[in-house]
């Protein structure tokens, strides 16, 4: 009887730990294609998904030069973050702490340009973490 209780307790512990880990994972908020021209683009975040504490992005097969990003909140406030970095191919950006924490994000706007030769495009994927 004790052995069965120990096994059941262990399984419940594993399920609880798994739920905690999965809620802390990075969520894909969208993918945008970046060309070799300087441009701006916006990731629209629905209010059901928009409450995040941290953001980061991943660059696809070619490097991207990112000048800045602007986080626009549902409340009407916005926060501009200077990036001014060349993010290498298949690399992640630094983790960006959302000011005020747990504010609802309406959208995130980027100013960028692909940094590859030969007019090849690439992708940028935005991730959020609660």
What is the CATH number for 64? 2.70.9.30
Domain holding 119, by residue range, is 27-129
- Domain-embedded: residue 21: no
Residue 11 lies in a domain: no
In tens, the pLDDT along 18-64 reads 433 444 699 999 999 988 777 899 999 876 666 888 999 999 999 99
Residue 4, in any domain of the structure: no
| Domain total of the chain | 1
Sign of CA dihedral 60, 121, 110, 85: positive
Give pLDDT, residue 19: 38
Radius of gyration in angstroms for the set of CA atoms belonging to the chain, rounded to a whole number: 19
Say which residue, 73 or 126, is predicted with more confidence. Answer: 126
Residue 109 lies in a domain: yes
The set of residues, in sequence order, having a beta carbon less than 8 Å from that of 24 and lying 6+ positions away, is: 129, 130
Token pair 């059941």: residue: 8
Domain-located, residue 55:
yes
Which of 25, 28, 27, 50 lies closest to 124, judged by CA?
28
């Amino acid at each position: 009887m004790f052995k069965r209780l120990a096994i059941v307790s262990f399984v419940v512990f594993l399920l609880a730990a798994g739920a905690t880990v999965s809620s802390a994972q990075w969520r894909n908020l969208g993918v945008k294609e970046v060309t070799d021209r300087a441009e701006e683009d916006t990731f629209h975040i629905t209010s059901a998904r928009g409450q995040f504490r941290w953001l980061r992005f991943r660059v696809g097969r070619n490097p991207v030069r990112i000048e800045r990003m602007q986080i626009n909140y549902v409340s009407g406030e916005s926060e501009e973050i200077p990036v001014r970095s060349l993010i290498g191919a298949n690399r992640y950006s630094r983790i960006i702490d959302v000011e005020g924490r747990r504010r609802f994000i309406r959208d995130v706007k980027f100013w960028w340009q692909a940094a590859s030769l030969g007019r090849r495009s690439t992708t940028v994927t935005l991730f959020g973490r609660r």
